[in-house]
Structure 1
């Protein structure tokens, strides 16, 4: 089966990013609303993470639109800028995770149970897994560090969803308020590593 041409890959990438935008709006609204209503710091922060992911998807849509309109050569500058922005957003996401975890541990404030929050977090796990896998594949085929950075944010969103679920259930069943803060710190190294690659322009998307 012949490999898809670059224009076809760009169109596939567009569809993935618009799907991301749609889900992030739903996820962000539900998580923030549920978090505020339940007095849950971590659930509210999870909703704010959706806003970061939404911003990343919008940057990618802009970068892809430049290439679709003006061609690959013209898109190199926008690719570089989008990669830098993506890297910056990843570092912002890492800072948010660390600050949120420290604050939760310092204030002894864990998850407060919220059924809407649990549902949206459970749905986010498979959705983000599927989106991130497709984004990584297309990022490799396009040789796009910017899209890889966006895919990493989708991966991180999926892991944070799992952290939220674990925290909600643990607090409900065991009163273990500290679980979500402790487990969220485990993924910071991954986010920082990918953010550094995006910012410095290190090779991350290898062609076969």
Structure 2
């Protein structure tokens, strides 16, 4: 049975730190980079809602269903987003990775692959998870493409599943990586990040 506890993870110039109430203002600044709350298919907090957003994440952590992190870019020493383990199910050794967003200037960089690699390595290699899941809005095609680039398999769609901020109800696309697939997924993620580093150094 897995035991998911707060942990700090660091790789490729990015650090995942357990979220605290002290991170509210920094997360607000990150969300302002691209006015991310205007994107219909995400749950980025709008201006003034950041405190509630963080409090909800911490309440879920206290209940044992979520472990939220902030994403710190080390060279600039600034918070650039957030991600979480959630829907933690210790009895079947399952977690999901989600509640993920990054400041616009850090999207489509090495950051997402680096964070996902750290979380997947911790889930499979340290916690002993048998499966790691992902979910996203059926209209969030960018998120679906990013999840598929990780090597996750599409499990299916749960129709009429969750309320969006605008009052409409979304279908949820579910993905997963099982433990037997992890060695190949890990190798591919390391390869992608190495290629990205080579391009930066060229």
Q: Under a length normalisation based on structure 1, what TM-score does the superposition of the two structures give?
A: 0.34
Higher relative contact order structure (alpha carbons within 8 Å, sequence separation ≥ 6)? 1
Name which one, 1 or 2, has greater alpha-carbon Rg.
1
User: Greater strand share, 1 or 2?
Assistant: 2
